Structure 1
Amino acid sequence: MPRQLAPIEVARIARDMTWATHPDGLATVILRAAVDSGALRLGMCYRLDQTSDCLRPLSCVPEKASALPELDMGELDNPLVYGLVSGHPCTVEHIASMVGVGSTFERLRERFMPGDGAWILPLRDANQHAFAVLALLGNPSALHALRESALWQALLQIHERLFSGLEQNLGDAERARSADAVRAQAHTRTRERAARLLAAEFVGVSPAVRELRSDMLSMTDSNLAILITGETGAGKDHAAWLIHQAGSRQGKFVPVNCAAIPKDLIEAELFGNERGAFTGASQARAGLVAEADGGTLFLDEIGDMPLELQGRLLRVLNEKKYRPVGATQERHSNFRLICATHQPLPQRIAEGSFREDLYFRIRQQCLHVPALRERPEDIPVLAEHVLLQYNRERQAHIPGISAEALRMLQMHPLPGNVRELRNLVLVAAERTGRGQDITPQALRELRAPAPRTAALPTTSTMPLHDLWETNDLPGALAAFECHLISERLRQANGSRALAAQSLGIPKRTLARRCQRWNIFQEDSEP
């Protein structure tokens, strides 16, 4: 039976509870007093953790709270869980005899003694919502006496009010910390998902592509404008789409090809129009800027945008406001801008056909997609990826691409980059029998001579006298190198050793250059 508390002990208990600054310290005061009075053998306090849907140990006397297990809120037969869910006190005459309650209760039951009874007291806030429980264990007779004691009832009520007050005071800070933790976890999961998406969809194993994926990942949740540069077919539009897909914006990805829209219609296409604003405007249209609200506006071939429209676009970017053609009221659109071009915009600025202020506004972040000839090690994995998609979409069964065919693809200059590679593989797959690998023969039939740009030189692409007129220095240097190697091999009757010696480079270097420029002259040496 609990002994009678002296007035000085009651005053000390009340003082210590009042001085407590944290819920676990407050719970320890009341539990320690009950154990010391002989009313309890073991006292525990558990608090609800809503983020993980469990009861976490807060205090325990005479043991340490860290030794107690967490309790699953799904174990409704657990008297501690029941007490919190119901919001009412409950009594268990022989708690050690309870079996089949749940795995977390079984771990707690190890601390019960035969004959222990339990008195479960929910702790409620000012709105009478239970958020914690006291579990008082001991002799059933002693617990009965504790329940009947007016003094202990008063102390427990004081404890509940003080506990609720401390929780209220600490609640805002704890909820903020919990919310921060949840946001951090969500951000981590989002980044991991974005990284997986980029790795799966922007295919490549070269250092350049790995760096490119890393840059794309860092841009996914940025609101700054992005300018993507690279040759035609290199994958600029795909990179833009992936940046949007990997980000957190919930709106649409709205692509606009500035080179494909007639000059007199591009303004209405972007900003929309009122009915009757121009000939043929039989109805009002919202426009692509409005459609991109909350999402991403992708302006492909931005270098082809008419000069007079560039000023309006700059104002939209600065103010996020625009006015449809024929409208009197401005409208708002919150979009993230991604632009792409294969043109040298600084040169366009010098020519007066592109605004310098718009150029600096759209290139807050820059991303360059390298041409395939600069990363030939990516060609096999890209080709296999295209073939995998083909098999999946067409329900076909082309097992793979032969090693000889892959080498042929790597030697091909691929002026159309990924777009050309994809077309080569798809057409070759159509010409390949089911269950057979793509062979060099299937590719040779596709590689008919075609016009090429200066950046992709062959001996017939760029005559030497044209090099003086080009505006592409890297392409001119590459074309000259290709001409020089071909001519030197011709003079050496195909001997790579003699040609390399005359050029002052190792034979191995010459072989790599021949492979790069698709120079197939036979080596006259054994």
Structure 2
Amino acid sequence: MSISFADRSAVGIEDVPAAPNAVEAILVLDDEPGMRTFIERTLASKFARVETAADADEARALAKNTRFDLMIADIRLPGAVSGLELARELRDRYQVDLDVIFITGYLDVYDEIDALRDTSADVLRKPFHAEQLLAVIKRAQERRRVAREQFLLHRECEQRPSAKRIVGESASLKDIWRTIHRIAPMPSTVLIKGETGTGKELVARALHDLSGRRGSYVPVNCGAISADLIEGELFGHLKGAFTGAHQARNGLFSHADGGTLFLDEIGEMPLALQAKLLRVLEERRYRPVGGSQEIPVNARVITATNRDLAAEVLAGRFRKDLYYRINVVDLKLPPLRERKGDIEHLARYFLNVLSAELGVPTPELTAWDLQQLTRYDWPGNCRELRNVIERSLLLGNPVAQYVCESTVQNAEESATGSPASSLEAVQRSHIMNALAVAGGNKTVAARALGVSRKTVERKLKEWSDDGSVDMPH
């Protein structure tokens, strides 16, 4: 399956209303004169405008007349209003997209939890160095860049008919698209199943874009994050929760609040974390690492896998209760070999998009090209087809040349009696070829195949156990 979004460059910046961009104007709010001076001197030469305020009234007056991108605010202020309350007030009254970095000199974990529940992602404890302050501002700039891209994508999706984002005319694709339209506005969890490269993330994006949810779309590849880090990535952590946790940070659930969290390769998630994810889905609350209080969250969760999760449950590698919880709606994407009528549509689409990106002329697909494209089984599905098209554009050779290389190899295996026609044999051949090209480097091969290194290692282990391949070192 391939659902494609139009080139973002089609949306002109001048036509887009205000949305988060770079950090240029900063408001510093602290009742300590020395702290205000330190922050102002640190930032004055690096940003277009830095203003300081000693209390809430001064901050209100400045925010009323100036559009600030970022506020650095002490959590505890003299008077009845805290820095947290003032930040929310300024967003509501003057600037909805104001980023905030909270600073505090008190070891009060409840202040820190309240800050984490805010849309800010960082809390700095006093005293701190200039380098620490600049580092958290850099993270704020990155958040604004991502928010800008998401804003443009949402704007683009609103302006363009949904049908233009679909490539293919097969009956199975149309059925899936009708299902996407039906379930997109619902809050239910969705499990997207399909082989690698069938377009699972594109379907997840389409579900979010058509959902009407105003929060962010946040994707995460569960197979690309180590088991000891993934809990903190999902739920965030408080300062000091573990070695190296110098500041509190929000997790991906926080960033997806009001939007969609896409958990790709959910089958790679460690069993211990599966239990915590199940609790979040049931209770709609999560607890940051090192925290004692739970934080409510309103994020729709969409998951995807290329594994047979039912078999994983029987093997004890996936929790049965979590499987039933995420499998409320089941979307199975067909492999490209089962919808060969869409190959020509996809190939022409990739040729047009990639030739524009690469700045090269768009070549014509010959009858021979199309014949070879439709004869090949595409074990890597749409992603492999895209890579073949891109390679042909980069090297200036016919598309069919690269398809023939794989087709001939499969025919040779069949002539020697090996089961090249089976999916497992094709998959094995494809992975071993990628490893050969990468000189045995599993990370490089995985990147070329569009899968995680863990997936490559798992397949090699399976084949090594049954004696079908020698395990690369």
Q: Provide, for residues 413-432 of structure 1, a one-character-per-residue CA deviation record: whole Å limited to 9, x for no partner.
A: 11110000000011112233
C-alpha separation in 2, matches of 1:460 and 1:282: 61
> CA distance change for structure 1 residues 449 and 394 in 2, over 3 Å: closer, same or farther?
closer
Alignment of 1:344-423 (within 5 A): 344-423=308-387
Q: Partner residue of 2:401? A: 444
SS at match of 2:318: coil
C-alpha separation in 1, matches of 2:332 and 2:341: 18
Q: Percent sequence identity over matched residues? A: 41
Would you say 1:254 and 2:218 are equivalent positions? Answer: yes
Amino acid at match of 1:412: Y
> CA distance change for structure 1 residues 379 and 458 in 2, over 3 Å: closer, same or farther?
farther
- Asked if the contact 2:373/2:403 (under 8 Å) is kept, the reply is no
> CA distance change for structure 1 residues 309 and 197 in 2, over 3 Å: closer, same or farther?
farther
C-alpha separation in 2, matches of 1:363 and 1:462: 40
> CA distance change for structure 1 residues 280 and 208 in 2, over 3 Å: closer, same or farther?
same
- Asked if the contact 2:360/2:393 (under 8 Å) is kept, the reply is no
Q: Partner residue of 2:299? A: 335
SS at match of 2:219: strand
Q: Provide, for residues 169-211 of structure 1, a one-character-per-residue CA deviation record: whole Å limited to 9, x for no partner.
A: xxxxxxxxxxxxxxxxxxxxx9xx7896542223111111111
Amino acid at match of 2:319: R
Amino acid at match of 2:178: S
- Asked if the contact 1:198/1:213 (under 8 Å) is kept, the reply is no
Q: Partner residue of 1:277? A: 241
> Aligned-pair distance for 1:242?
1.3
C-alpha separation in 2, matches of 1:281 and 1:461: 57
Amino acid at match of 2:217: F
Q: Partner residue of 1:87? A: none
- Asked if the contact 1:249/1:295 (under 8 Å) is kept, the reply is yes
Q: Partner residue of 2:254? A: 290
C-alpha separation in 2, matches of 1:228 and 1:458: 33
- Asked if the contact 1:195/1:217 (under 8 Å) is kept, the reply is no
> CA distance change for structure 1 residues 215 and 272 in 2, over 3 Å: closer, same or farther?
same
C-alpha separation in 1, matches of 2:244 and 2:161: 43
Q: Partner residue of 2:470? A: none
> Aligned-pair distance for 1:460?
7.6
C-alpha separation in 1, matches of 2:212 and 2:306: 28
> Aligned-pair distance for 1:449?
4.7
Which one has more relative contact order, counting CA pairs under 8 Å at least 6 apart? Answer: 2
> Aligned-pair distance for 1:357?
0.9
SS at match of 1:338: strand
The structure with the larger Rg is 1
C-alpha separation in 1, matches of 2:305 and 2:416: 23
C-alpha separation in 1, matches of 2:264 and 2:416: 28
> CA distance change for structure 1 residues 327 and 462 in 2, over 3 Å: closer, same or farther?
farther
Aligned residue among 392, 414, 439 for 1:428: 392
Q: Provide, for residues 113-146 of structure 1, a one-character-per-residue CA deviation record: whole Å limited to 9, x for no partner.
A: xxxxxxxxxxxxxxxxxxxxxxxxxxxxxxxxxx
SS at match of 2:223: coil
> CA distance change for structure 1 residues 461 and 367 in 2, over 3 Å: closer, same or farther?
farther
Q: Partner residue of 1:46? A: none
Number of equivalent positions: 272
Q: Partner residue of 2:175? A: 211
> Aligned-pair distance for 1:280?
1.6
Q: Partner residue of 2:205? A: 241
Structure-2-length-normalised TM-score: 0.53
> CA distance change for structure 1 residues 197 and 277 in 2, over 3 Å: closer, same or farther?
farther
C-alpha separation in 2, matches of 1:260 and 1:430: 28
SS at match of 1:459: helix
Which consecutive residues of structure 2, in runs of 5 or more, have no partner in the other structure? 1-153, 428-473
> Aligned-pair distance for 1:388?
1.3
Structure-1-length-normalised TM-score: 0.48
Amino acid at match of 1:243: L
Amino acid at match of 1:237: E
Amino acid at match of 1:459: S
> CA distance change for structure 1 residues 446 and 207 in 2, over 3 Å: closer, same or farther?
closer
- Asked if the contact 1:225/1:362 (under 8 Å) is kept, the reply is yes
> Aligned-pair distance for 1:276?
1.2
C-alpha separation in 1, matches of 2:182 and 2:254: 26
SS at match of 2:373: helix
Q: Partner residue of 2:414? A: 459
> Aligned-pair distance for 1:395?
3.7
Q: Provide, for residues 98-126 of structure 1, a one-character-per-residue CA deviation record: whole Å limited to 9, x for no partner.
A: xxxxxxxxxxxxxxxxxxxxxxxxxxxxx
Q: Partner residue of 1:16? A: none
> CA distance change for structure 1 residues 444 and 391 in 2, over 3 Å: closer, same or farther?
closer
Which consecutive residues of structure 1, in runs of 5 or more, have no partner in the other structure? 1-189, 433-437, 468-473, 480-526
